[in-house]
Amino acid sequence: MHRLELTKPDGRRLTLYGRSAIEAGLQAPSPFAEPLNASPHLRWHPLRGEWVTYAAYRQGRTFLPPPEYNPLAPTVSADNPTEVPAGRWDIAVFDNRFPSLGVAPGAEPPPRLIVPTEPARGQCEVVVFTQDPKGALGRLPLDHIDLLLQVWGERTVRLGERPEIQYVLPFENRGAEVGVTLHHPHGQIYAYPVVPPVPARMQQVAAEHLARHGRGPLEALIQAELSDRARLVYAGPHVVAFVPVCARYPYEVWVAPIRAVASFAELEPPERADLARALKTVLLKYDGLWQRPLPYLMAWYQAPTDGQVHPEMHLHAEIYPPYRTRDRLKYLAGTEIAAGFFAMDALPEEKARELQQVEVSLS
């Protein structure tokens, strides 16, 4: 992995990654001249027992790009700088200009309110998967996807080393149906100052399972899915992908190394290579299902970066496409949003069969 660290004119960081050497002499552009002045704050939610972040400037963006402007494409004209330079690189990571988490030096203190408040420490990064605005994560070459897995690992280590950061979540929102307005292939990384509610719950459940059964719940589930085979979408030497027996979305798929590694950084190269194959297989099957790009939310769960060892945690992706049929979205409504109780009108076994039947070529 090759890497070049740069600083943008507005002070934000940009890191370029390459399978081969990064082009020398590249400069970091920015659509913005003035320094970032973020001061998001957290408020305590006393009924749910969790923090909520407020970044009020995010709505009032004054930046009005020309219609065809793509801030994630390489800069072609100095008059219209984007977020990344032209030149030889494969993946770019930069600080989000409108972060929900991350407080600038000298930022205003959080407001005093009727509930506890805190500065919203942390970091929001944007990950540009490729220079090609028409590309897609699933259509990248295997060694390019392998590089992305390394990048996610490196960002997790670097962010997780900061004492204020307790959890690092790489994710991708893909498609207008999940609110994406920028169609250049990219994802995001949120680095939280707390372990957020969903991974906190997972960690607690997994620790209890490990204590009781001697292994984590995902390790146990993977063995059972491998034996059952009914819901498998990919089974390689080191990695498995499946519609989980407990899927909450019709086309939900999990991708995980069979060995219970706690984070990207613990993957051995052959495991990472197989993980790239598994991920590419799933994403190509998604797009092959209805012969069109399938929108999804993909999140990668790892161990918290809270300074403790987490043998109960097992690196994996959960991918949630929002469709329940070719034409119908699955809306999260009363029972899902208000109760947190998911209702499915499709059986995971049937949806797995549909995905199993999609032929893909990894080329």
Name residues contacting a copy of itself, limited to 177-196 (CB under 8 A): 178-180, 188, 190, 192, 194, 196
Near a copy of itself in 112-131, by CB under 8 A: 113-115
CB closer to a copy of itself, 32 vs 54: 54
Contacts of residue 244, Cβ cutoff 8 Å, sequence gap at least 6: 221, 225, 231, 252, 253, 254, 348
Q: Site map for a copy of itself, 227-246, x if CB under 8 A?
A: xx----------------xx
Q: CA dist 35 to 31, 105, 133, Å?
A: 11, 11, 27
Q: Decide: helix, strand or coil at residue 173.
A: strand
Q: CA dist 53 to 98, 122, 169, Å?
A: 13, 11, 16
Structure tokens at 130: 């490729």
Cα radius of gyration rounded to whole Å, the chain = 21
Q: Assess 108 for contact with a copy of itself (CB under 8 A).
A: no
CB closer to a copy of itself, 139 vs 231: 231
Closest CB 208 distance from a copy of itself, rounded Å: 8
Contact 153, 263 (CB under 8 A): yes
CB closer to a copy of itself, 86 vs 107: 107
Closest CB 4 distance from a copy of itself, rounded Å: 27
Structure tokens at 358: 């999609």
Q: Closest Cα partner for 51 from 1, 124, 101?
A: 101
Q: Assess 107 for contact with a copy of itself (CB under 8 A).
A: no
Q: Closest Cα partner for 274 from 362, 359, 189?
A: 362
User: Considering 41, 144, 186, 316, which one is annotated as catalytic?
Assistant: 186
Nearest-angstrom CA–CA distance, 48 and 29:
41
Residue 345: how many CB atoms within 10 A of its CB? 8
Contacts of residue 169, Cβ cutoff 8 Å, sequence gap at least 6: 189, 190, 191, 192, 196, 199, 299, 300, 301
CB closer to a copy of itself, 5 vs 349: 349
186 in catalytic set: yes
Q: Assess 262 for contact with a copy of itself (CB under 8 A).
A: no
Q: Assess 133 for contact with a copy of itself (CB under 8 A).
A: no
Residue from 56, 64, 78, 309 binding a copy of itself (CB under 8 A): 56
Stretch that binds a copy of itself, among 84-92, 129-137, 265-273, 339-347 (CB under 8 A): 339-347
Q: Decide: helix, strand or coil at residue 356.
A: helix
Q: CA dist 163 to 43, 176, 265, Å?
A: 20, 36, 18
Q: DSSP assignment, residue 346?
A: S
Q: Assess 307 for contact with a copy of itself (CB under 8 A).
A: no
Contacts of residue 269, Cβ cutoff 8 Å, sequence gap at least 6: none
CB closer to a copy of itself, 80 vs 188: 188
CB closer to a copy of itself, 93 vs 221: 221
Q: Assess 290 for contact with a copy of itself (CB under 8 A).
A: no
CB closer to a copy of itself, 103 vs 297: 297
Stretch that binds a copy of itself, among 142-150, 157-165, 259-267, 333-341 (CB under 8 A): 333-341
Closest CB 120 distance from a copy of itself, rounded Å: 9
Closest CB 185 distance from a copy of itself, rounded Å: 15
Token match 């070719």: residue? 326
Contact 316, 323 (CB under 8 A): no
Q: Assess 206 for contact with a copy of itself (CB under 8 A).
A: yes
Q: Site map for a copy of itself, 60-89, x if CB under 8 A?
A: ------------------------------
Structure tokens at 236: 């390689």
DSSP element (H, E) containing 284: helix 269-289
Binders of a copy of itself: how many residues, by CB under 8 A? Answer: 80
Closest CB 319 distance from a copy of itself, rounded Å: 10
Stretch that binds a copy of itself, among 141-149, 263-271, 277-285, 341-349 (CB under 8 A): 341-349
Indicate which residues carry an active-site annotation.
Answer: 186
